[in-house]
């Protein structure tokens, strides 16, 4: 049996650093090769092409590992077709006689924090070809690598199925909204429309300018734009505000809704629930407090999940410097359909039932993710290699 050895990426792979072609060679007509720059759909196994290039300079082949080499550093996915890569990416091409490409993908994923720490630069972090070449990964014979991949694929498949179930519940909520209230753009049910300010207790309020510090249980959680996921939930990057004087002024209460006012995620929303604990909100967010005698907060939040709202955001944002929608624009220019409160409350009850089911699935997904992480640890510390080498 072959013992596990640690090899540099340069010993088992070829590395191709990206180079961006002239912008006049880009198109969305699918002419030429798919073109990927930085941030190539990381979080997905394969990136989805949005732009094509008719005169590529640097080419990645199918099954090459695509790694982000600048802002962010270390994220990876796999090219599922021949493609052009810009300077934000590197293609890492496995020597198939020495390393399985999917095994390489998992190994680099496992090393992400280490790779990220290699980044240097004052404006944004970046890594070089030399840095990538120096990364060490555990390597054994191809047969055992394939066994590792099968074990990890099986664990990842369970996570993906659970994610799909959660996404299906999100889609169900939006389907129920449209079934009960119709498309707000068409408003075929002729619901009354009111300004956001008119269904809230007061005008929008900007958050705290406090800096973020490490969190402990004696402080509130500090919610920033970057802490809000696309689905409106909070991520696991928990920090606290530095200024205790802001604790009460910016404290969130049940049913408060936050709107992102600036940056790439302008328009993103978050509905506060007491289950998320003691929280205050940061300055690039705007708080609106729904008047529950006029509008149900859950109804208002899910109104902001509609295509109508998303299109409003796209049409409204001021892009002189960067995308921006201020409190006055939200309050005076965003019109909300206002069905009878009884109907809104009925919708909220359905949402609560869906959310309860979603919460159970999310807990299950955390367990699956923990199991996957444990498997990764065993695989790339050599423990799983030893187990597999002792099985036939």
Looking at residue 391, its pLDDT comes to 57
* Mean pLDDT along residues 136-141: 90
Domain residue ranges in the chain:
5-138, 192-338
Number of Cβ within a 10 Å radius of residue 322:
11
Looking at residue 40, its pLDDT comes to 65
* Mean pLDDT along residues 355-373: 94
Lowest mean pLDDT across 61-65, 68-72, 299-303:
68-72
Query: What CATH number does the domain located at 192-338 have?
Result: 3.90.220.20
Q: Which two tokens stand for residue 184?
A: 């707000």
**pLDDT > 50? residue 385:** yes
Looking at residue 319, its pLDDT comes to 62
Is 18 in contact with 58 (CB distance < 8 Å)?
yes
Looking at residue 77, its pLDDT comes to 93
The class level of CATH for 5-138 reads alpha beta
Q: Could you tell me what percent of the chain has a pLDDT over 70?
A: 95
Looking at residue 227, its pLDDT comes to 93
Q: Please report which confidence band the pLDDT of residue 292 belongs to, taking 50, 70 and 90 as the band edges.
A: very high
Higher pLDDT residue, 131 or 217?
131
Q: What is the pLDDT of residues 43-54, one digit of tens each?
A: 788 998 989 999
31 by Cβ neighbours in 10 Å (0-12 / 13-18 / 19+) ranks as exposed
Number of Cβ within a 10 Å radius of residue 173:
18
Looking at residue 124, its pLDDT comes to 81
**pLDDT > 80? residue 234:** yes
The yes-or-no answer to whether 5-138 and 192-338 have a common fold is yes
**pLDDT > 70? residue 16:** yes
Residues in the chain: 392
Is 90 in contact with 17 (CB distance < 8 Å)?
yes
Nearest to 272 by CA among 238, 216, 226, 221: 221
Q: Alpha-carbon distance 295 to 304, whole Å?
A: 13
Is 207 in contact with 285 (CB distance < 8 Å)?
yes
């Amino acid at each position: 049996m072959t013992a596990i050895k640690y090899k540099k990426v340069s010993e088992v792979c070829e590395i191709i650093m990206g180079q961006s072609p002239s912008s006049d060679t880009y198109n969305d007509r699918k002419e030429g090769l798919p073109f990927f720059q930085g941030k190539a759909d990381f979080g997905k196994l394969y990136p989805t092409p949005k732009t094509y290039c008719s005169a590529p300079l640097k080419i990645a082949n199918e099954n090459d590992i695509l790694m982000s080499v600048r802002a962010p550093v270390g994220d990876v996915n796999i090219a599922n077709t021949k493609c052009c890569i810009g300077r934000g990416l590197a293609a890492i091409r496995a020597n198939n006689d020495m390393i399985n490409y999917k095994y390489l993908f998992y190994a680099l994923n496992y090393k992400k924090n280490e790779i990220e720490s290699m980044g240097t630069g004052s404006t944004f972090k970046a890594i070089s070809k030399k840095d990538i070449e120096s990364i060490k990964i555990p390597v054994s014979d191809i047969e055992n690598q394939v066994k590792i991949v099968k074990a990890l694929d099986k664990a990842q498949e369970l996570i993906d199925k659970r994610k799909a179930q959660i996404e299906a519940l999100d889609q169900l909520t939006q389907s129920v909204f449209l079934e009960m209230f119709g498309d707000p753009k068409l408003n075929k049910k002729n619901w009354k429309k009111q300004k956001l300010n008119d269904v809230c207790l007061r005008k929008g309020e900007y958050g705290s300018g406090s800096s973020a510090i490490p969190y402990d249980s004696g402080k509130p959680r500090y919610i920033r734009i970057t802490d809000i996921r696309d689905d409106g939930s909070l991520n696991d990057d928990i920090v606290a505000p530095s200024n205790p004087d802001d604790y009460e002024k910016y404290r969130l209460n049940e049913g408060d809704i936050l709107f992102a006012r600036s940056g790439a995620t302008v328009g993103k929303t978050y509905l506060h629930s007491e289950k998320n604990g003691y929280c205050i909100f940061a300055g690039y967010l705007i708080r609106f407090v729904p008047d529950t005698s006029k509008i149900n907060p859950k109804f208002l939040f899910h109104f902001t999940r509609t295509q109508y709202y998303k299109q409003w955001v796209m049409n409204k944002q001021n892009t002189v410097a960067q995308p921006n929608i201020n409190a006055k624009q939200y309050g005076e220019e965003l019109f909300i359909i206002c069905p009878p409160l009884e109907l809104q409350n009925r919708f909220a009850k359905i949402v609560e039932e869906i959310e309860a089911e979603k919460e159970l699935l999310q807990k299950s997904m955390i367990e699956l993710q923990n199991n996957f992480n444990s498997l990764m640890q065993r695989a790339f510390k050599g423990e799983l290699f030893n187990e597999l080498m002792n099985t036939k």
